[in-house]
Amino acid sequence: MGHFPSLFGNEIRAGALEAFLATLFSFVSLASLVGGREDLFQELRNEKINTYYLMMSMLVSAMLAIIYTNDIFTSYVFIEIITITACYLVAAKPGGRPLVASMVYLVMSLIGSCLVLISIAILYGVTGHLLMPGLNHGVEALAATGEYRVPLFILAGMMTAGLALKSALFPFHSWLPYAHSSATTSASAVLSGLIVKCYFILIIKMQLRVFGFDTMAVLQLQNILIAFGAAGIIYGSVKAMQQGDIKRMLSYSSIAQIGFISVAVGLNTEAGIATACFHIAAHAVGKAMLFTAAGGLAAASGHKKDYGSLYGAARRDPFSGTAFIIGGLAMTGIPPFFGFA
C-alpha cells in the first residue's frame, strides 16, 4: 500500500479467509447494533450516542485491519485502537459498575499489549523484519541453526501470552465477566462475539505466516495452548452454570468457547486451524445472537438480568425468546444448527 518500497510501506494480504472473516465481522457488527439499538437509546444519554457509534465504527475498522494486515507492527497499532474503543464502549453506560469494569479491562489489556510489543521488538531485533513473509524466512533460518531456540521460545511465548490475555483465555480471563456483563447490549455482543476472536485470528496468522508448524512444534507452545484451552473449557462451563445473571452466564460461556478455539489452534495442524476458524465464525454469530436476545429479554423484564425477574420474558418478547433458543441450541451443538457442524 502507498508509494513506498516494502521496507517502509505497509502490506496487506487479501485471500478467501480474509474476505470471509471481514464479511462475517461486518455482518455481526451490523446485526449487533441493529439488535441492541432500542436498548442503546434507553441506556445511554443522548449526547453519547454519536460518540458511541463513532467508537464502534473505529473498532470494526481496527478489527478489519488486523484481519487484512501482513505487517506485525501494524497489527499492534490496531490492537491498541481496539483496546481504547472497547474501553469506551464498556464505560459509556452510566453507573459505577461499567466504569470499574472498563478500568479492569484497560489494565489487563495493557499488560497484554506490553507483552506483545516487547515480543515484536525482540522479533525485529533477531530477524530485522516486520512484514510477516520476511519474518517467516528469518525465523526459519534461526530455527534451523538451533542457536536462537531460547530467544524464539521467549518471544513466541510472550506474544502468545499477551494475545491470550487479551482474548481472555484461561487463566487470563478475570476481566471478561465484568466487562461483557456491564456493557450495553450491542457492545456486549461485539465484545464477546468478535473482539476476543480477533486476537486468536492474530495468533493463527503468527502460527501460519511467521513461525510455521515446524517451529511451533520445536518450541512446544502448542501444548500450552491445549492445556490452557482444556482447563478453560471446564472452568468456563462450570462457572456459567453457577451464575444467576443471564449476561454473566453468557460471559463465562465465552471463556469455555475460547478454550475450544485454543485447543484447535494448539493441535498445530492445518485441520486444527480450519476447525478453529470455523468455530470462530460459529461462535461469533451464535454468541452475538445470544447477547442481543438477552438484552431484549432483560428489556421486557424491567431491565433486570437475574433469572427470577426474567421468568416469562420469552412470552413478553417472543422474538428475543426465539433468538435465544436458536443461539443456545447452536452453541450446544444441536443439529441442524451450525454449532453441530
Q: Does a structural domain hold residue 33? A: yes
Q: CB-hemisphere CA count at 13 Å for 269?
A: 7
Which residues span the domain enclosing 161?
A: 16-331
Number of domains composing the chain: 1
Write out pLDDT tens, residues 206-235: 888 888 888 888 777 888 889 999 999 999
Write out pLDDT tens, residues 88-142: 888 888 778 888 888 888 888 889 899 999 999 988 888 888 888 888 888 888 8
Lookup result for grid cell 465465552: 254
Q: Does a structural domain hold residue 89? A: yes
pLDDT at position 61, please? 93
Q: Does a structural domain hold residue 11? A: no
SS3 78: helix
Mean pLDDT, residues 176-194:
83
Nearest to 299 by CA among 105, 102, 43: 43
Q: How confident is the model at residue 39 (pLDDT cuts 50, 70, 90)?
A: confident
Residues 90, 129: Cα–Cα separation, whole Å: 36
Q: Does a structural domain hold residue 9? A: no
Q: Does a structural domain hold residue 269? A: yes
Residues 143, 158: Cα–Cα separation, whole Å: 17
Question: Helices marked H in 243-335 — which ranges?
Answer: 246-266, 270-299, 313-316, 318-331
Nearest to 203 by CA among 281, 283, 263, 286: 263
| Cα 7 versus chain centre, distance | 30
Q: How confident is the model at residue 38 (pLDDT cuts 50, 70, 90)?
A: confident
Q: Does a structural domain hold residue 337? A: no
Mean residue pLDDT of the chain comes to 86
Q: Does a structural domain hold residue 173? A: yes
Q: Which residues 6+ apart lie within 8 Å of 282 measured at CB? A: 330, 338, 339, 341
Q: Does a structural domain hold residue 336? A: no
